[in-house]
Amino acid sequence: MKVSLFVTCLIDIFQTDVGMDTLELLEKLGCEVDFPEKQTCCGQPAYNSGYVDKAKESMKHMITVFEHSDYVVTPSGSCGTMFREYPHVFKGDPVWEPRAKKLAEKTYELTQFIVDVLGVEDVGAKMNGIATYHTSCHMTRLLGVKEAPMKLLSNVEGLEMKPLAHNYNCCGFGGTFSVKMGEISEQMVDEKVQSAEDCGAEILIGADCGCLMNIGGRIDRKGKPIKVMHIASVLNSR
Partner 1 sequence: MAMKIGEKPFKERVTDGIGDVFMRGAVSSAQGRFRSGRLNAAEELGNWEEWRKLGEEIRTHTIENLDYYLDLMSENVSKRGGYVFFAETAEEANEYITNVVKKKNGKKVVKSKSMVTEEINMNEALENAGCEVIESDLGEWILQVDDHDPPSHIVTPALHKNKEQIRDVFRDKLGYDKTEKPEELALFAREKLREEFLQADIGITGCNFAIAESGTISLVTNEGNARMVTTIPKTQITVMGMERIVPTWEDMEVLVSLLTRAAVGQKLTSYITALTGPKQEGEIDGPEEFHLVIVDNGRSKILGTAFQSILHCIRCAACINVCPVYRHVGGHSYGSIYPGPVGAVLTPLLGGYDEYKELPYASTLCAACTEACPVKIPLHEHLLRHRQEIVEKEGKAPVFENLSMKAFSLGTASPSMYNIGSKLAPKALGAFTKDDKISAGPGPLKNWTEIRDFPAPKKDRFRDLYKKRKKERGE
Residue 129 phi, psi (nearest 5): 150, 170
Closer CB to partner 1, 23 or 125, in the complex = 23
Closer CB to partner 1, 137 or 153, in the complex = 137
Q: Give me the least distance between CB of 124 and partner 1, in Å please.
A: 22
Closer CB to partner 1, 154 or 187, in the complex = 187
Closer CB to partner 1, 130 or 184, in the complex = 184
Which stretches of the chain bind partner 1, using CB under 8 A? 7, 9, 11-16, 19-20, 23, 35, 37-41, 43, 45-55, 57-58, 60-61, 65, 137-138, 141-142, 168-170, 172-189, 191, 213-214, 216-218, 220-221
Q: Give me the least distance between CB of 144 and partner 1, in Å please.
A: 11
Sign (positive or negative) of CA dihedral 5, 79, 137, 20 = positive
Closer CB to partner 1, 120 or 142, in the complex = 142
Q: Give me the least distance between CB of 40 and partner 1, in Å please.
A: 4
Q: Give me the least distance between CB of 64 and partner 1, in Å please.
A: 10
Q: Give me the least distance between CB of 214 and partner 1, in Å please.
A: 7
Q: Within a 10 A sphere around the Cβ of 213, how many other Cβ atoms?
A: 17
Residue 132 to residue 121: CA distance in whole angstroms: 18
